[in-house]
């Protein structure tokens, strides 16, 4: 193990559901416990905590558990922590920050977590109120006045450009939802485990054209934990360490309308500048799919196909199936496994690289995986490898 | 009812120009480029010599979506959300609504002209197709 590298060691996940009643801090503790058990670490060995986006008081369900609270609740003696979004883009930016911290010797084992409680918060607004503001400012003022109130509307406009310029079809887009759902049915923790057919997809109601109901993830309650460990500390863990072989992130304008293309494009291209691996070395991709269309953009961005070719690349679904040449979102993605908000993709990459996928384990001896988060105005990509 | 922006020194010219039927964008007086969203510094040359200026108010639909989801119960659907590239201001794109036509009559590349909708002290720049 190289001292200068960072590794993902323990991983954990709470129960995944909708309208859960278990306290969101306890969901987080459940995921931490599982990650510690897997790694054979004790809480006394944890000296760092990193999260995204930090406690969100105006929208508690979106992010109910702050790093400070978790540190206090678990009695962690932290030498390094990251309370807020910090300087690295999107959800898995919390892992990037932790990796930098352990590489600089600021911590040895960092708990990275993402806890979501959006379904529960919506069901119990008295306990988890949404702060309503009379007026919007910042980023939102350029979209909200036009009733472009959801990322679905913003993403849909990029998708429509693919439809009109590159001939993306709904049948192609459907392959993301169908693949996700087929994989989710093999994942005991997936949120949605009923089958989905192409007919059901094609007749689903539209949300924002060309995106229909099945192109959009749904509110979920869950916590996911990834422990990032320093190269000179991995001999303390009992699970197979997974090396963070490369990481990239970008934000250009933090805007859904001023950028020509989404942030996944520069991020995907940058990832390969940090490694000798190439896309042909990758055994599986776990690509952010808050909306199905984002998978298509990530595949293009990462160089698995050319700009505009993403739809044709996944046509028919064989290539991205569990037994295909490039298995996609083997846990079900966010469309099947639930809106774990970015962390599910890195969690699953580790599961697959360790051969622990059970019924959904891909064949062969997978050694290299890509996982991503975001991709709109913010993006992060991780290349993970088992040495 | 639409969600309105909070007006401040940076954005007031943009959101109130409709009172005089003008679409006003911030322009750098040194390098002549337009800056949006408005900020007190030019993102191209870092000049602070920036001021609002009226543009023609026409543009081209860069992309769009027809929104069917009621994001709140009172919302009337469907309606068109679009990104409009503003004529004479290269690089400036506004998210807006295309109004005055059927939702299926909108396409990328359509030419559009601004029309303002007033709500309280805000004049929202919406766009309609140029016949």
Structure tokens, A99: 């990796």
Contact B63 A157 (CB under 8 A): yes
In this prediction, residues A119-146 reach a mean pLDDT of 91
pLDDT for A267 beyond 70:
yes
pLDDT for A67 beyond 70:
yes
B6 in contact with chain A, both atoms CB, cutoff 8 A: yes
pLDDT for B131 beyond 70:
yes
CA distance A94 to chain B (A): 28
Residue A157, Ramachandran bin (φ over 0: left; ψ between -120 and 50: alpha; else beta) = alpha
pLDDT digits (tens, 9 = 90+) for A139-164: 899 999 999 999 999 999 999 999 99
Residues of B in contact with A147 (CB under 8 A): 2-3, 67, 71, 75, 79, 81, 97
Overall domain count for chain B: 1
What residue of A is the nearest CA neighbor of B71?
A: A149
**In Å, what is the CA distance from A168 to each residue of A140, A174, A206, A309?**
29, 11, 16, 8
pLDDT for B111 beyond 90:
yes
In this prediction, residues A78-97 reach a mean pLDDT of 82
Q: Give the whole-angstrom CA distance, residue A287 versus residue A370.
A: 8
First to last CA, chain B: 28
Domain interval for residue B78: 12-129
Q: Which residues contact A140 (CB under 8 A, 6 or more apart)?
A: B3
Domain boundaries, chain A: 6-128+220-236, 149-218+245-385
pLDDT for B90 beyond 90:
yes
Residues of A in contact with B94 (CB under 8 A): 142, 257
Predicted pLDDT of residue A133 = 79
Predicted pLDDT of residue A164 = 98
CB A10 within 8 A of CB A35: yes
CA distance B57 to chain A (A): 17
Average pLDDT, chain B: 97
Q: A383 by DSSP, 3-state: which?
A: strand
pLDDT for A333 beyond 90:
yes
Residues β-bridged to residue B113: B58, B128
Q: Concatenated DSSP letters for A1-56? A: --TT-EEEEEEEE---BSS--S-HHHHHHHHHHHHHHHHT--GGG--EEEESS---
pLDDT digits (tens, 9 = 90+) for A341-375: 999 999 999 999 999 999 999 999 999 999 999 98
Contact B68 A205 (CB under 8 A): yes
pLDDT digits (tens, 9 = 90+) for A339-349: 999 999 999 99
Q: Give the whole-angstrom CA distance, residue A208 versus residue A147.
A: 12
Cβ–Cβ contacts within 10 Å for residue A125, how many?
A: 11
CA distance B17 to chain A (A): 15
pLDDT digits (tens, 9 = 90+) for B27-62: 999 999 999 999 999 999 999 999 999 999 999 999
Domain at A149-218+245-385, CATH class: alpha beta
In this prediction, residues B55-76 reach a mean pLDDT of 96
Contact A257 B95 (CB under 8 A): yes
Chain A positions contacting chain B at CB under 8 Å are 134-137, 140-150, 152-154, 156-161, 164-165, 205-211, 255-258
Q: Could you tell me if residue B2 is inside a domain? A: no
pLDDT for A283 beyond 60:
yes
Grade residue A84 by pLDDT with cuts at 50, 70 and 90: low
pLDDT for A87 beyond 70:
no
Contact B37 A142 (CB under 8 A): yes
Q: Do A6-128+220-236 and A149-218+245-385 share a fold?
A: yes
- pTM beyond 0.80: yes
CATH architecture group of domain A6-128+220-236: 3-Layer(aba) Sandwich (3.40)
CB B97 within 8 A of CB B119: no
In sign, the C-alpha dihedral spanning B106, B111, B113, B119 is positive
B120 in contact with chain A, both atoms CB, cutoff 8 A: no
């Amino acid at each position: 193990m190289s001292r200068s590298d960072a590794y993902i060691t323990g991983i954990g996940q709470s129960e995944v559901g909708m309208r859960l009643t278990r306290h969101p801090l306890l969901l987080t503790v459940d995921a931490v416990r599982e990650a510690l058990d897997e790694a054979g670490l004790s809480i006394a060995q944890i000296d760092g905590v990193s999260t995204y986006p930090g406690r969100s008081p105006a929208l508690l369900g979106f992010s109910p558990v702050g790093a400070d609270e978790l540190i206090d609740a678990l009695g962690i003696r932290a030498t390094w922590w990251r309370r807020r979004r910090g300087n690295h883009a999107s959800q898995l930016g919390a892992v990037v920050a932790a990796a930098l911290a352990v590489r600089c010797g600021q911590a040895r084992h960092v708990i990275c977590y993402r806890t979501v409680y959006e379904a529960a918060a919506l069901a119990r607004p008295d306990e988890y109120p949404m702060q309503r503001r009379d007026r919007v400012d910042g980023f939102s003022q350029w979209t909200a006045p036009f009733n472009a109130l959801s990322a679905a509307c913003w993403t849909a406009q990029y998708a429509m450009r693919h439809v009109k310029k590159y001939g993306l079809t709904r049948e192609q887009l459907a392959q993301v939802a169908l693949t996700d759902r087929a994989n989710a049915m093999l994942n005991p923790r997936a949120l949605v485990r009923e089958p989905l057919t192409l007919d059901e997809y094609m007749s689903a109601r539209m949300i924002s054209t060309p995106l229909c109901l099945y192109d959009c993830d749904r509110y979920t309650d869950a916590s996911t934990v990834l422990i990032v460990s320093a190269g000179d500390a991995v001999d303390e863990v009992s699970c197979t360490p997974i090396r963070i072989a490369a990481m990239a992130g970008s934000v250009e304008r933090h805007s859904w309308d001023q950028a020509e293309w989404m942030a996944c494009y520069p991020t995907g291209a940058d990832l390969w500048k940090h490694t000798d691996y190439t896309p042909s070395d990758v055994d599986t991709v776990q690509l952010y799919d808050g909306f199905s269309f984002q998978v298509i953009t990530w595949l293009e961005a990462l160089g698995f196909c050319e700009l505009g070719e993403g739809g044709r690349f996944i046509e028919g679904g064989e290539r991205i199936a569990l037994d295909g040449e490039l298995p996609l979102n083997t846990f079900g993605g966010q469309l099947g496994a639930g809106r774990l908000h970015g962390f599910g993709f890195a969690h699953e990459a580790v599961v697959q690289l360790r051969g622990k996928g059970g019924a959904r384990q891909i064949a062969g001896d997978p050694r290299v995986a890509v996982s991503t988060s975001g991709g709109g105005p913010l993006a992060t990509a991780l290349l993970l490898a088992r040495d | 009812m639409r969600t309105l922006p909070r007006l401040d020194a940076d954005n007031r010219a943009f959101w109130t120009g409709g009172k005089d039927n003008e679409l006003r964008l911030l322009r750098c007086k040194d390098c002549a480029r337009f800056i949006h969203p408005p900020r007190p510094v030019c993102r191209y040359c870092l000049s602070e010599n920036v001021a609002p200026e009226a543009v023609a108010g026409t543009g081209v639909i860069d992309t769009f979506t027809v929104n069917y989801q009621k994001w709140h119960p009172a919302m009337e659907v469907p309606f068109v959300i679009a990104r409009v590239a503003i004529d004479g201001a290269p690089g400036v794109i506004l998210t807006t609504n295309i109004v005055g036509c059927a939702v299926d009559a909108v396409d990328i590349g359509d030419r559009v002209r601004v029309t303002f909708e007033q709500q309280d002290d805000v004049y929202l720049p919406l766009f309609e197709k140029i016949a």
